[in-house]
A and B are shown apart, each in its own frame.
Chain A
Amino acid sequence: MVLLVAGASLAGVLSAGWSPVLGVQLQGGVEVVLRPADEVSDEQFERAIEIIRNRVDAIGVAEPDITRQGNQVIIQLPGVKDKQRAVDLIGQTAELTFRPVVSIFDSSDPNQLAAVQQLVQGDAQDSDSSESEPLPTLSEVLTPPDQDEASESVVLLGSEGQTGFVLSPAALTGEVIEEAAATFQGQWIVNVSFNDEGALLFDQMAVANYQKQVAIVLDGVVESAPTINATEFDGQAVISGSFDEEEAKNLALVLRFGALPVEFERDDVRTVSATLGEGTLRAGVIAGLVGLALVALYMLLYYRLLGLVAVCSLAVSGATLWSIIAWLGESQGLALTLAGATGIIVSIGVQVDSNIVYYERIKEEVRRGRAVKSAADGSFRAAFSTIIWADLASLIGAGVLYQLTTGTVRGFALYLGITTLIDLAVSFFFMRPLVVLVARRLVKEKPKRLGLTVTTGEASI
């Protein structure tokens, strides 16, 4: 039964082409632990993580893992190519800016792109040459993220990626916003209030851009481009449009918290070169296999046929574990870390112990003259009770560690818990039936095959 389940899950995982996702230490990459510099609310924190996630997606990392653990954000980017850029990009608090809109264009229309290029490059480019040049692509027109300075004119896209904006230098930045809230007054609107400096700057901008659009830019994306309908705001502005509730609330959040609503300190920054990662992985795999082989050899020599059962149990657990790790990697983006891998190598011992506890019970019973067959049947209850009580202690430990710690220790606790559960299942559903089967069919009252010897004399020294 269990064999079927384990086999099926392994086959399923293999055929789906899933393989465990390797952590930063095992394949190279970047790991950053960030912590807010000041107290932040949950809302701010979640928003910050969301923004970081967007930035990471923009870099294009295959298996990013961004998790919040307590008051830290742990960002793992295994296999990322440009490591320094990734590190820089993640933690920076980009600015929120208000930029007057010069013109709006359709990013999918090449002719409009050419016009925009001309507009931006201005008189430096004389008009004859533009005819002979091929039409520019979108990426040539847009301002690259590292040149997105508040004091420069820029070309950026809207949040939907369709509409492009040519924008003047920033009139004011997000720092001057005091409060922003979405409210419902017949329609969803966003109320913004500014501090004294902001009120002044905003009015200046409003005068200069009356009846024109002003873009709210965050992280190089135009979040919204409302039209200015007044020249005097007195520190209070209302942004209206055809927002739905979610859009209005998002905009309010953007305005309130700026780009990254939280200033982060880098607690731990780790870059691992691909070669070092591979070296560690290779070392771990070889060490694991050698260890496994030694354990298998020992069990076979000591327990003979029962040793074979133990080896099979290990194989079943291994297949199950592989499936679970691959599944976790695939569905949860959870990477197999170095600590996790080591925990697994260590768990070989725990797994084998369940077999040993059982076998020693059997040996004991047989030594007392009980038939191998009935000993195999009868010892399981006592042995399994021991296994449960001992495993329960491991589970308590794993649970506490998982709940209360972060990073390395947490990863370890996760795999300790998983392997312990597998151990319980395999002991009950696989080891027991197989041992009983072996005892019935193959041993035929020749205990030597089980590495048992039967003494006839009473215990005496």
Chain B
Amino acid sequence: MSFSIRRLYRGDTNWDFLGVSKRVLTGSMIAVLICVVALFVQGLNLGIEFEGGGVWEAPASEDITTDDIREAAADIGMTDARVQRITGGDDIFRVRGELPSGETAESVGSELAAAARVDSEAVSARTVSPSFGDEVAGKARRALIVFFILIALYLTLRFEWKMALGALVAVAHDIALTVGIYALFQFEISPATVVAFLTIMGYSLYDTIVVFDRVKDNERSLSLKTRMTYSDLANVSLNQVIMRSVNTTITSVLPVISLLVVGSLIMGATTLQEFGIALLIGLLVGSYSSVFVAMPLVSSLKRREPHWAEQDRSAEVLSESNSIENAATALAADRYDRSSPPRPRKKGRKR
């Protein structure tokens, strides 16, 4: 294993990504299925931005319990209010419920402040009308559809429709998984989370484009000279970009983890938490899907094209034992041709 990590570090891998992709894809499909089922069975835990209602947050001290607060809320007619104590950093009470008739956000706030024995200025409040959420959701949906259409066009123009399809399927896969996890664990969905979902789409596409870009590049330079099958081509390209994918994922995930750990666990800022979870899941799933969902899909579509089907057949006839290796060698040779001829190695160079 240590050997292959060193290879990975050098960017010198020969992994058969497409070979394992069938098994991995089955796993993916099961996961997506579970998520979709969770979505329909449990539904999403929507924040007040989507459902309407009010949220009040007050600093919490040691000697006051959530029950005290719950009682105070019930006294002013908020019997079904959800009261939480959010720990980490400075504790706060979070009360969520419908605004009782005859009360204003402020009057409820000062009642709760009295119950929590803090100044009413220290209470943060938010009330949202029910219709607002529909509007937010409606806008996001419309934006999403336009986005998908534009991206599909863009990828079709830049690459080809098969790749556009592969990329969008991968994105849909990522969103399904992330939203599914939110349904499964009943994390709250807020506009911040929606932003996170959108970011995930961005990342996932970005990742996929980097992979496709390399495949296209290799296709131009290699396919005419060699007897590579499309799977080989895809595998070679994936091996070339895998280290970049790994590194990018690590460097993207590090700030998000720091956001989650520092921001929400130590400092107790819930808003950051909402964001962080979605991003973390999405980033990991996004890089995975570029390699294991988008590319295999494109490959299986491309193999039906006459040219690549022909290559497949001839590869079978020749029954080359290790076509990937041949491809890699061919690729290396090709690069030599294009760049300056290899110089004789200097003595001091490391072996």
Name the contact of A276 in the complex, choosing from B14, B124, B241, B349 (C-beta under 8 A). Answer: B124
In the complex, A346→B252 CA distance in Å? 7
Which of B109, B241, B258 neighbours the largest number of chain A CB atoms within 10 Å of its CB? B258
CB B16 to nearest CB in A, in angstroms, measures 11
Q: Bin the interface of chain B by size.
A: 35 or more
On whether the beta carbons of A349 and B89 are closer than 8 Å, the reply is no
* B264 contacts partner chain A, Cβ-Cβ < 8 Å: yes
Contact with A along B255-274 (1 / 0, CB 8 A): 11111011110111101100
CB atoms of B198 and A408 under 8 A apart? no
Quick check: is B147 within 8 A (CB to CB) of the other chain?
Answer: yes
**Binary CB contact string for chain B from 190 to 202 against chain A (1 if under 8 A, 0 otherwise):** 0110110011011
| B318: Cβ under 8 A from any A Cβ | no
Which one, B36-44, B71-79, B209-217, B294-302, is touching chain A? Answer: B209-217
Min Cβ gap A272→B in Å is: 5
Assembly CA distance A440 to B123 (angstroms): 60
A241 vs B59: C-alpha distance when bound (angstroms): 59
Contact assessment for A287 and B132 in the assembled complex, using a CB-CB cutoff below 8 Å: no
A64-102 interface bits toward B, Cβ cutoff 8 Å, 1 = contact, 0 = none:
000000101000000000011001000000000000000
- Whether A279 contacts B151 in the complex (CB less than 8 A), given A290-B262, A295-B251, comes out as no
Given contacts A266-B127, A284-B272, A455-B10, contact A342 B147 (CB under 8 A): no
Report yes or no: B11 in contact with A282, Cβ–Cβ below 8 A: no
Chain A: CB-nearest residue to B158 = A389
How many Å lie between the Cα of A407 and that of B190 in the bound state? 12
A297 to chain B, nearest CB (A): 9
Q: Is B105 an interface residue (CB 8 A)?
A: yes
> Complex: how many Å from CA A267 to CA B131?
7
Once the chains bind, are B243 and A397 in contact (CB under 8 Å)?
Answer: no
When distances are taken between beta carbons in the complex, the residues of chain A under 8 Å from B129 are: 265-268
Cα–Cα, bound, A343→B213 (Å): 26
Return B81 CB to nearest CB of chain A, in Å. 18
Beyond A339-B192, A459-B329, A460-B325, is A279–B268 a contact (Cβ under 8 Å)? yes
Does A149 belong to the interface (CB within 8 Å)? no
Is the CB–CB distance between A408 and B342 below 8 Å?
no
3 residue pairs, one from A and one from B, having the closest CB atoms: A349-B252, A291-B255, A283-B267
Residues of A within 8 A of B350 (CB): 448, 453-454
Q: In the bound complex, do residue A390 and residue B209 qualify as a contact, i.e. CB atoms below 8 Å apart?
A: yes
Looking at the complex, which one of B135, B140, B240, B269 makes contact with A283 (CB distance below 8 Å)?
B269
Rounded to whole Å, the gap between the CB of A277 and the closest CB of chain B is 8
B346 engages A445 (CB within 8 Å): yes
Contact B105 A386 (CB under 8 A): no
Pairs across A and B, CB under 8 Å, 29 listed: A84-B106, A265-B129, A269-B125, A279-B267, A284-B259, A286-B267, A287-B263, A288-B255, A292-B255, A302-B247, A339-B191, A346-B279, A348-B252, A349-B256, A353-B251, A356-B251, A360-B240, A363-B10, A364-B11, A369-B343, A374-B339, A386-B209, A394-B206, A405-B140, A405-B143, A408-B194, A416-B199, A455-B10, A458-B332
- Contact pick for B259, options A25, A345, A385, A389, CB 8 Å: A345
B225 within 8 A of A: no
Contact flag A280-B269 (CB < 8 Å), given A269-B105, A290-B258, A393-B206: yes
Q: Nearest chain-A residue to B148 (Cβ)?
A: A400
Q: Complex formed: what's the CA distance from A405 to B139 in Å?
A: 6
- CB pair A453–B10 under 8 Å, yes or no, is yes
Rounded to whole angstroms, the CA-CA distance of A268 and B143 in the bound complex is 21
A53 within 8 Å of B (CB atoms): no
Q: What residues on A are CB-neighbors of B241 within 8 Å? A: 360
Interface core residue of A33, A288, A367, A412 (most chain B CB under 10 Å) = A412
Given B125, B199, B266, B332, which contacts A346 in the complex, CB threshold below 8 Å? B199
Report which A residues bind B (CB closer than 8 A): 25, 28, 33, 35, 70, 72, 83-84, 87, 265-276, 279-280, 282-284, 286-288, 290-292, 294-295, 298-299, 302, 338-339, 342-343, 345-346, 348-350, 352-353, 356-357, 360, 363-365, 367-371, 374, 378, 382, 385-386, 389-394, 396-397, 400-401, 403-409, 412, 416, 445, 448, 452-456, 458-461
Complex partner residue of A294 from B59, B194, B258, CB under 8 angstroms: B258
> Once bound together, how far apart are the Cα atoms of A299 and B349, in whole Å?
24
Residues of B within 8 A of A (CB): 9-12, 14, 49, 57, 59, 89-90, 92, 104-106, 109, 121-129, 131-132, 135-136, 139-140, 142-143, 146-147, 150-151, 154-155, 158, 191-192, 194-195, 198-199, 201-203, 205-206, 209-210, 213-214, 217, 240-241, 243-244, 247-248, 250-259, 261-264, 266-269, 271-272, 275, 279, 283, 325, 328-329, 332, 335-336, 339-340, 342-343, 345-346, 349-351
A353 touches B252 (CB 8 A): yes
Q: How far is the CA of A339 from the CA of B336 in the complex (A)?
A: 48
Find chain A residues with CB under 8 A from B264 CB.
Answer: 283
Judge whether A339 and B195 touch: CB under 8 Å: yes
Q: How many A-B residue pairs have CB under 8 A?
A: 289
Evaluate whether A353 and B217 lie within 8 angstroms (CB atoms) in the complex, with A271-B105, A272-B124 already known: no
Cβ B209 vs Cβ A389 within 8 A: yes
The closest CB in chain B to the CB of A297 belongs to: B254
A409–B89 CB distance below 8 A? no
A385 and B154 contacting across the interface, CB-CB below 8 Å: no
Shortest Cβ distance from B204 into A: residue: A393
| Given A294-B258, A350-B206, A279:B271 Cβ within 8 A | no
> A357-B210, A363-B11 are contacts. A283–B272 as well, Cβ < 8 Å?
yes
Which of A70, A286, A349, A360 is the one whose CB lies under 8 Å from B244? Answer: A360
The answer to whether A360 and B243 have CB atoms under 8 Å apart is yes
Pairwise interchain contact B12-A367, C-beta atoms closer than 8 A: yes
A342 and B259 contact, Cβ closer than 8 Å, known pairs A356-B247, A393-B151, A397-B151:
yes
Interchain CB contact under 8 A, A298 and B14? no
Nearest opposing residue in chain B for A267, CB measure: B132
In the complex, the answer to whether B192 meets A342 with C-beta atoms within 8 Å is yes
A294 → B minimal CB distance (Å): 4
Shortest Cβ gap from A88 to chain B (Å):
9
Of A283, A356, A382, most buried by chain B (CB within 10 Å of CB) is: A283
Instruction: Please pick, from B136, B251, B343, the residue contacting A407 in the complex, using a CB distance under 8 A.
Output: B136
Point out the residues of chain B lying under 8 angstroms from A357, CB to CB. Answer: 210, 244, 248
Judge whether A353 and B248 touch: CB under 8 Å.
yes
A218 to B7, CA, bound (A): 77
Of chain A, the residue at the smallest CB distance from B250 is A298
Cα–Cα distance between A25 and B151 once the two chains are bound (Å): 33
Q: Is the Cβ of A269 less than 8 Å from the Cβ of B127?
A: yes
- Complex Cα–Cα for A22 and B336 (A): 54
B255 adjacent to A348 (CB under 8 Å) = yes
**Bound complex: CA A392 to CA B336 (Å):** 31
A33, A286, A346, A385: the one within 8 Å of B262 (CB): A286
Q: Are B336 and A369 interface neighbours, CB within 8 A? A: yes
Most buried by B among A87, A299, A345, A403: A345
In the bound complex, how far is the Cα of B147 from the Cα of A357, in angstroms?
A: 25
B244 proximity list for chain A (CB < 8 A): 353, 356-357, 360
Residues of B contacting A389 in the complex (Cβ-Cβ under 8 angstroms): 158, 209, 213
Bound: A456/B342 CA distance, A: 12
What is the bound-complex CA distance between A396 and B252, given in angstroms? 21
| A368/B335 in contact, CB under 8 A | yes
Question: Knowing A284-B272, A365-B339, A397-B202 touch, does A33 contact B11 (C-beta < 8 A)?
Answer: no
Distance of A152 Cα from B132 Cα, bound (Å) = 38
